[in-house]
Structure formats: C-alpha cells, structure tokens
Amino acid sequence: MDEILRITPLNSRHRSLNAQMAPFGGWDMPIQYGGIIAEHGWCREKAALFDICHMGEFLFEGDFEEQGLEDLFTFSVKTIPLGRSRYGFLLNDQGGVIDDLIVFRLGENRAMVVVNAATIATDFSVITNRLRGGSFTDITDDTGKVDLQGPLARRIMMDLFGEQIERIPYFTFVTLQLLGCEALVSRTGYTGELGYEIFLPAGKVGELWDLLLGDERVRPAGLGARDLLRLEMGYSLYGHDIDETISPLEAGLEPFVKFGKEFVGKQALLQQKEQGLTRMKVAFQVDGRRSPRQHYDILSNGEQVGVVTSGAFSPTLGRGIGIGLVRSQAAGIGTRLSICHERVSMAATVCELPFYSDGSLRS
C-alpha cells in the first residue's frame, strides 16, 4: 500500500515551480527545483529559501521545574534567557537519541519545542508521558515555517521588514508583525550561512513565500541542497548520524549535554564516559570525486571498522566527504580508510570538522 504523505501549505507552489518531489519523514517534500548543486551554490553566495513547514512545533505552558520540562532534555530550559533558544537532545534510558531539537524560551512559563518531522508523534508522546503537569500542545498543523539562508539574508530581511532585523544575534529571536500577523523570526539555521527561521500561522506562509521569492536575490532550494549544506558543516542528521541506538557522546556532541543537571539517559551516558567509547563519529575526505553513501562499509587495514552514516560530493571541496561511526582506534585525525560498497572502493582520510569553514553563519 502506498504511503499517505502529509503535505505542507506550500505544496502547490513547489509543483508550480516543477520541483522534484519525494517522501521525507512522512511528508511530500521538494528535493530540488533547478538542481542541487546550483541551489547549494546560491545559498553559499546569495540567499536560498527553504520550506521547513514539515518540522514539528510543540507549545509548553507551565512551571518548567514543577511540571518536569526541566528534566526532559540534555540542557537546562529554565536558564535559557527570554528571547533565546537552545539545542540539545531528548534521550531514552539507554542514552540513545530519540530526537535532537531546539527549545525557544517564549516567556517566563512558556516555551516552544521544535522537533524533526519524522519524530513528531514519538516526541509528543514521550514528552507528554514524562511531564508532570502544565499545558503541552502540538501546534504543528497551525504553524508555518520557512528558512531564508545565505550571506544576503540579513539585507533582504531588512529591506522587507525593517531595521530591527539587524539587531537579532545568533540563536536569538524576536516576535514581529509580518504580513498582518505575529511571526517569530529566529537567527538560526542548518546551512552554515547567515540566516533566519521564520515561524508564522500556516495560513500566511504562502504569502511570505511569494514575497521572499519576489526578490531577485532569493531562489528556492530543496532538501537535497539543504542536506549537502549541513553535511559540509558536519551537522548531524537524525536517522543518519544520530538515532535511538547512538548516543550524543558517540556522535561527538557532548558539548550539548549538561551533566550538571538531571535528564533521562544521564546514567547511561556517565557509564559510557567511565568505560570509554567503543565507537566514535568521524569525518573523512575521499581521495577523489566519488560520493560515499549511507551504509557503505568503512575499512582500516582491510578490516571493517565502521559504517558511513552520511556522505556526498562536496562542490565546495571538489571531492567526496562523509561522516561515519567507527571503532575508536580508527578515529584519529589522519587515519587512512577505505570506503567500500559491493565493487566500489575509495580511499579516504579522517579529517577535522567542519569541512567548510568560510560560511557567513556568525556574520
């Protein structure tokens, strides 16, 4: 039986632009319009517009500590300053990542939790069951979201919406009146470039999409370019580089785990730290233009030591790049590897992240 896909409020607009559509996380999403490489380049040089309405949004209202929100994630919610956001994880008892997410501190007793599309139902159920009270609502269907990303994004947003856009620091957000409705504009993104995530009522997101695309400096980009952009930065993708069987420590994301507070999965992570990691995330560059892919084997001295979790050809570097999980002894910078799949074999070298370090992210 064919999967019944959810659609975003922008679905008809993607089809009118002749986008290549495909399932992603249970949604019918645009993979590319004119080409992944071209869209990637436009985002690196100018400004690309992404439909991110498939992401999930939950609204919590109540006392963070008394109602249990404070103990849910690997970071503290109560210490997030008003108007700022924080990234981290929702874990299972074994320390595996149920989801990576961002919490936006809306008020003294209000927060918005933004989660991945494929895990909306799971996340909502897990969080609901762990809370001890308060109001917790899934507002995904009522919320539209687009991302404008690229070095020209600030100038474009200022031209359209005013000088107040200039005063939004990284990982900070403001609430503005846009197109006659209240919108949350956040200085965040997933590309390594200066950019904004804009949340507004779902019924208004089409009007915003049209307005932004009316600027000749803006072009639409699909999930193909978005994936390539995030990989060049070394950002983890849920379902590839992190999942319920992979801990944040194994994924190289310990800076987003605050061991000075309580959270589900903490004891499992402390045990991992005490015993030492048996596998670790590595980044590698291929000696050529071939693209490594998820599930390809990683070999060291002829022995399989791990598996590729993400891989692609990097237009910026002009070679194949990837992320994988390998035995700890094969994770050292400069370690030579072989990436293999059936008759394909490519030589590679473990390297540092990010692959791409010249982005405008913090400009």
Tens digit of each residue's pLDDT (9 = 90 or more) over 153-180: 999 999 999 999 999 999 999 999 999 9
250-262 confidence digits (pLDDT tens):
999 999 999 999 9
Mean pLDDT of 17-44: 97
- The residue among 232, 264, 290 that closes a domain is 232
| Same domain, yes or no: 298 and 228 | no
pLDDT of the residue at 146: 98
pLDDT over threshold 80, residue 225: yes
pLDDT at position 59 is 98
Burial of 253 (0-12, 13-18, 19+ CB in 10 A): buried
226-253 residue pLDDT tens: 999 999 999 999 999 999 999 999 999 9
What is the mean predicted confidence (pLDDT) over 350-359?
A: 97
Residues 224 and 298 occupy one common structural domain: no
Q: Is residue 94 part of a domain?
A: no
What would the 3-class secondary structure string for the chain be? CCCCCECCCCHHHHHHCCCEEEEECCEEEEEECCCHHHHHHHHHHCEEEEECCCCEEEEEECCCCCCCHHHCECCCCCCCCCCEEEEEEEECCCCCEEEEEEEEEEECCEEEEEECHHHHHHHHHHHHHHCCCCEEEECHHHEEEEEEECCCHHHHHHHHHCHHHHHCCCCEEEEEEECCEEEEEECCCCCCCCEEEEEEEHHHHHHHHHHHHCCCCEEECCHHHHHHHHHHHCCCCECCCECCCCCCCCCCCHHHCCCCCCCCCHHHHHHHHHHCCCEEEEEEEECCCCCCCCCCEEEECCEEEEEEEEEEEECCCCEEEEEEEEEHHHCCCCCEEEEEECCEEEEEEEECCCCCCCCCCCC
The answer to the question of residue 115 being in a domain is no
Query: Same domain, yes or no, for 321 and 176?
Result: no
Asked if residue 304 and residue 227 are part of one domain, the reply reads no
Please indicate, yes or no, if residue 127 is contained in any of the structural domains. no
| Same-domain pairing of 344 and 218 | no
In a domain, 192, yes or no: yes
Examine the pLDDT at 354 and tell me if it is beyond 90: yes
- Domain residues for 46? 11-53+141-232
My answer on whether 192 and 290 are in the same domain is: no
Asked if residue 213 and residue 156 are part of one domain, the reply reads: yes
* pLDDT of 1: 52
Do residues 34 and 163 share a domain? Answer: yes
Phi-psi region of 119 (alpha: psi -120 to 50; beta: other; left: phi over 0): alpha
Nearest to 57 by CA among 122, 116, 134: 116
Cα 350 from Cα 308, distance rounded (Å): 12
CA–CA gap between residue 336 and residue 106 (Å, rounded): 47
46 and 166 in a single domain? The answer is yes
**In-domain check, residue 174:** yes
- Position 3 scores a pLDDT of 76
**Residues 60/113, Cβ–Cβ less than 8 Å:** yes
Domain with residue 38: its CATH number is 3.30.1360.120
Q: Which of 232, 263, 288 represents a domain boundary (last residue)?
A: 232
Same domain, 28 and 151: yes
Q: What is the mean pLDDT of residues 193-209?
A: 98
- Give the end of a domain, one of 196, 214, 232: 232
Closest residue by Cα to residue 332 from 350, 308, 309:
350
Residue 283 lies in a domain: yes
| Interatomic CA distance for residues 235 and 238, integer angstroms | 10
Please say whether the beta carbons of 99 and 115 come within 8 A: yes
Write down the pLDDT at residue 63.
Answer: 98
The total of structural domains in the chain comes to 2
The closest of 175, 173, 191, 172 to 183, measured between CA atoms, is 175
Average pLDDT, the chain: 97
Q: Are 10 and 19 spatial neighbours (Cβ–Cβ below 8 Å)?
A: no
Residue 211 pLDDT exceeds 70:
yes
Residue 18, exposed/middle/buried by CB under 10 A (0-12, 13-18, 19+)? exposed
- Across the range 105-115, mean pLDDT stands at 98
Q: Same domain, yes or no, for 213 and 340? A: no
Question: Which residue do the tokens 């892919």 mark?
Answer: 293
Cβ-contact 196, 148 below 8 angstroms: yes
User: Quick check: is 292 in a domain?
Assistant: yes
Tokens representing residue 24 in the block: 């992603």
pLDDT tens-digit series, residues 135-153: 999 999 999 999 999 999 9
Residues 6+ apart with CB under 8 A from 275: none
Q: What is the CATH number of the domain that holds 282?
A: 2.40.30.110
Do residues 195 and 297 share a domain?
Answer: no
- In the chain, what percentage of residues exceed pLDDT 70? 99
Domain-embedded: residue 4: no
Q: Mean pLDDT, to the nearest integer, of 88-105?
A: 98
Q: Taking 70 as the threshold, does the pLDDT of residue 332 lie above it?
A: yes
pLDDT the model gives residue 2: 66
DSSP-assigned beta bridge partners for residue 286: 348
111-126 mean pLDDT: 98
